[in-house]
Amino acid sequence: MISKELLSEVFGWKIKFVNPRINDNEISFIDYNGNTDSFNVYYVAHKCKEWALEQGFETRVTFDKNYKGIWIKKRFGFAEESFMANTEPEAIFKACQWVLDNKE
């Protein structure tokens, strides 16, 4: 679902382990100090979109009856990608992971 690297980048913490709890829409994690916490998956997706915007990327969610997707586009540039997933948060996490992997 979301990588520990992306979660670390978005929240500014050093995350050691991420556990997506799909049934209750929670993402729990453990940092390197042994602290545990959890957030609602939609809150984490929102924070990821804010992080992407800070990196210079705009996101636009698109819906189709068969899939949920998100477009991510570099502001004032030409880099544009699209990502599809079964849920909106999953699409957002894929898009933001792409941003993290392609940061200059």
Q: Is 25 left (phi over 0), alpha (psi -120 to 50) or beta?
A: left
Q: Which fold has domain 4-101?
A: Bacillus phage protein (3.30.2120)
Domain residue spans of the chain: 4-101
Determine the 3-state secondary structure of 102 from DSSP.
Answer: coil
SS3 category, 91: helix
pLDDT, position 75: 67
pLDDT digits (tens, 9 = 90+) for 47-95: 999 999 999 888 887 776 666 676 777 766 666 778 888 888 888 899 9
- Global pTM? 0.84
